Amino acid sequence: MLLSLTAFDYWSINLKSFTHLHNNTGLGKASMENFGTTDSRPEWEALKSIVFIGNHLPRQCGIATFTTHLLESIALNAPDKACWAVAMNDRQEGYSYPSQVRVEINQNQLNDYSLAADLLNLNRVDVICLQHEYGIFGGKRGSFIIDLLRDLNMPVVTTLHTILKDPALQDRHIMMQLAELSDRLVVMSERSVEFLHDIYQVPEEKIVLIHHGIPDVPFVESDAYKDKFSVAGKKIVLTFGLLSPGKGIEVVIDALPEIVKAHPRVIYMVVGATHPHLKAEQGEDYRNSLYRRAKELSVSEHIVFHDRFVADEDLLEFIGAADIYVTPYQNEAQIISGTLAYALGMGKAVVSTPYWHAQELLADDRGRLVPFRDRAALAREVIDLLDHPDECRAIQERAYQYGRKMVWSHVGHRYLDTFAEAKRQRLRKNVPEHRLETFGLRQQRLPEIKLGYLHRMTDDTGLLQHAKYTVPDRTHGYCVDDNARALIVAVTLQDLQPLDSELSDLAAIYLSFLGHAFNGQTGRFRNFMSYDRRWLEEAGSEDSHGRAVWGLGVAVALGRDAGEVVYAVDLFHRALDIIEHFTHPRAIAFAIIGIHAYLSRYSGDSRARRMRKILSDRLMQQFRDFATEGWPWCEGIMTYDNARLPQALLLSGQWLPDREMLEMGLRALDWLKQVQTDEAGRHFAAIGNQGWFPKDGKKARFDQQPIEAAAMVDACIEAFNCTQDEAWSAYAYRCLNWYQGENDLGVPLCDYATGGCRDGLEAQGANQNQGAESTLCWLMTLLAVYNHRGWDRVTPGEEPGRLDVEKVS
């Protein structure tokens, strides 16, 4: 039985059939020769079922290969255990998995993670073994996996495939939460142990060192395999693995002329497909550049490319045929290399650059290290090994003997011991209670992000402003305001779903609209365009210009298409000068938010930094001039998009840094939160646009607009970033729930069927039109909360260059 979490009705599952999983894991292709013999131990008796979470073959990546082999090793060493997998999918259609994959998760669908946690809890799984790599889970830096781990009540053993020496704040938080929510952390090198202890302060008792597994094969001369590849009589230098620029293949090609001059019978074999994510974004540009390089250096006849993802049995034969294995990675920050482990364990003489794992595995004369990007040194070491076969043989034997402790049978035993110990002695604190009614409910499940309605409202010109019910209304044409917001939605979602090419196409439409809207003669954006593509003004409002700058800043910060980013940078700079003279506080705030986004990518841009300072000081002065004890605001009336003002102050207060701005932003936002909470203190109640909220007057109850909730969500999340106070996160969720019916009338505004949003809350009910602004605000709200998920319970920390609120309060 295979359960896909993207297509099943969770509560209709036959849980009995799911609970009684059979022990046959479908490992017909796994050989006992490669994985070792069975040897059950008494301490393993408490383990009945073990589930692995990660990528799985036939998905083509190193994590998939590792997860598959680890599961097979455990199942063969302990055949009385039920072993199965939860596989991460990076594409909607998934993969043709074998029977041991019982559940699939769409990595970008947050709710799939909670549903998976429920299934694992309900089936009383004994131990979870998570394979962690930042890039295989959804959310900012893979934060969605934290949702799943929080809800699990069984022991979790997490294998860490990447541990960063100098982590960004996001990466540090993810690792700290993994450490907190796991009972044991398995690492594969001594350097990894040091990093966890010294950089992330993980207790030593949580850290377990288990080497990367390798197949158990006999030590055989390379000539035995060469006939199969038609290279008998040749000397084979091998590199294998998924191709990408960081692998440094070009350095070996550059070294080949010198190697071939000394040893004309050398063949360099490059085995492996182009990494699928690289191929999706750049096609075969990298591989083709290698072909051209070899041709230019006249060594094409000495290079053989095997452009395919290699099955295990073929891979062992490729490695077997090699005389020398080369890993020419281009920087030291490679803490684990499965390809290196395989080559060393099979007794190959290895020449490698000194990345961290290579330094460790090739110590004590088990291989040769050469400087990064040094073709001459690489050529010299390869030639020396070929010149001295006895020394080459000695290195091979030392490597093979060292690798005996890395064979899968031994690794499987170590993991089973770790699983048993984790079950015997839990090291995770605050384990969720084992009650059905609490499963998956520790955090609110989020609606799916649907773009169908956004597509409906978009044509080849841009995004239409209005709709009659759910039908685009062409009467009012287009505007910069909405296309700037739409650009923010497209690139933000692209950051979450980088392989979705449709998002880049949408971003290009909205970016093109902004480019066409810019009037080079005035330095201003026009705002309104009729449906027949006539501009209705020479210059739009300050607000529309500020929103355009905001959208462009986000496009620069998060854009993945190089051409779109260059276009956005150019337009951003052309639009920058005029805003120095803006006086409208919202326009200033929009521009500040956009500049901060831009500077997250180009932090050294002095022109943008100068403009940020000018605008931030101006906004702060407006608050100084008007705010009082009972009215901490910069105007005599509160109107629309109010929370963007304190959001801008919070951003600038942190990053300039400026203590007064930070405190003013928190004070204004806290007051705004009180103003926009209903009298019973239960839900968000936005300031209505039928009278707004004048100083010394009464707040209008209706019409409440989606734009207010969206602004509050972003501002509250920024306040949380400043303070680490979970009350701000809670209020952000309250504003999200306003769309879903927790409001003054108890009616939902978001439309789950279309993915759109109704145009506001009126006295008689929801406005049934679903225009662009409302829909975009709903999508922006969802995206903000999706990106915040996994960050709403974090350990406070200080990021360089950012003002810590604890030091100013």
Q: What does the pLDDT look like over 177-202, one tens digit per residue?
A: 999 999 999 999 999 999 999 999 99
pLDDT band at 436 (very low <50, low <70, confident <90, very high): very low
**Could you give the CA distance from residue 27 to residue 234 in angstroms, rounded to a whole number?**
36
**Could you give the CA distance from residue 386 to residue 388 in angstroms, rounded to a whole number?**
5
CA distances to 17, 27, 158, 764, 796 from 51, rounded to whole Å, are 17, 15, 12, 52, 32
Beta bridge pairs of residue 130: 53, 158
Measured from the Cβ of residue 288, the count of other Cβ atoms closer than 10 Å reads 11
**Can you spell out the DSSP letters for 526-570?**
--EE-TTS-BS-SS--HHHHHHHHHHHHHHHHH---HHHHHHHHH
Query: pLDDT for 617-668, tens place per residue?
Result: 999 999 999 999 999 999 999 999 999 999 999 999 999 999 999 999 999 9
The pLDDT, as a whole number, for residue 313 is 77
Mean pLDDT of 86-114: 93
The pLDDT, as a whole number, for residue 233 is 92
The pLDDT, as a whole number, for residue 774 is 98
Tokens of 639: 């109107």
The pLDDT, as a whole number, for residue 25 is 37
| Angle between helices 542-558 and 501-517 in degrees, nearest 10 | 140
pLDDT band at 40 (very low <50, low <70, confident <90, very high): low
The pLDDT, as a whole number, for residue 809 is 40
Q: Which residue has the higher pLDDT, 11 or 379?
A: 379
Question: How does DSSP classify residue 479?
Answer: E
CB 135 within 8 A of CB 32: no
| Angle between helices 726-739 and 772-788 in degrees, nearest 10 | 150
Tokens of 598: 């831009």
pLDDT exceeds 90 at position 496 = no
Which stretch of 17-31, 111-125, 343-357 has the lowest confidence by average pLDDT? 17-31
Can you list the positions of beta strands (E) in 183-257?
A: 184-187, 207-209, 235-240
Cβ-based burial of 203 (10 A; exposed 0-12, middle 13-18, buried ≥19): exposed
Cβ-based burial of 667 (10 A; exposed 0-12, middle 13-18, buried ≥19): middle
Mean pLDDT of 769-798: 80
- Of 561, 563, 569, give the one whose Cα is nearest residue 599: 569
Mean pLDDT of 351-359: 95
pLDDT band at 2 (very low <50, low <70, confident <90, very high): very low
The pLDDT, as a whole number, for residue 106 is 93
- Of 94, 108, 101, give the one whose Cα is nearest residue 27: 101
pLDDT exceeds 70 at position 512 = yes
- The average confidence (pLDDT) of the chain is 90
Query: pLDDT for 241-297, tens place per residue?
Result: 888 888 899 999 999 999 999 999 999 999 988 887 788 778 889 899 999 999 999
The pLDDT, as a whole number, for residue 431 is 83
Measured from the Cβ of residue 33, the count of other Cβ atoms closer than 10 Å reads 11
**Could you give the CA distance from residue 343 to residue 400 in angstroms, rounded to a whole number?**
9
**Could you give the CA distance from residue 467 to residue 248 in angstroms, rounded to a whole number?**
53
pLDDT exceeds 70 at position 487 = yes
Phi, then psi, of 11 in degrees rounded to 5: -75, -10
The pLDDT, as a whole number, for residue 311 is 74
Report the run of H or E that residue 778 belongs to, with start and end.
Answer: helix 772-788
Query: pLDDT for 206-242, tens place per residue?
Result: 999 999 999 999 998 888 888 888 899 999 999 988 8
pLDDT exceeds 80 at position 798 = no
**Could you give the CA distance from residue 745 to residue 709 in angstroms, rounded to a whole number?**
15
pLDDT exceeds 90 at position 439 = no
Cα angle 611, 781, 496 (rounded to 5 degrees) comes to 85
- Of 279, 278, 277, 288, give the one whose Cα is nearest residue 250: 288
* Parallel, antiparallel or unpaired: strands 303-306 and 266-271: parallel
The pLDDT, as a whole number, for residue 30 is 36
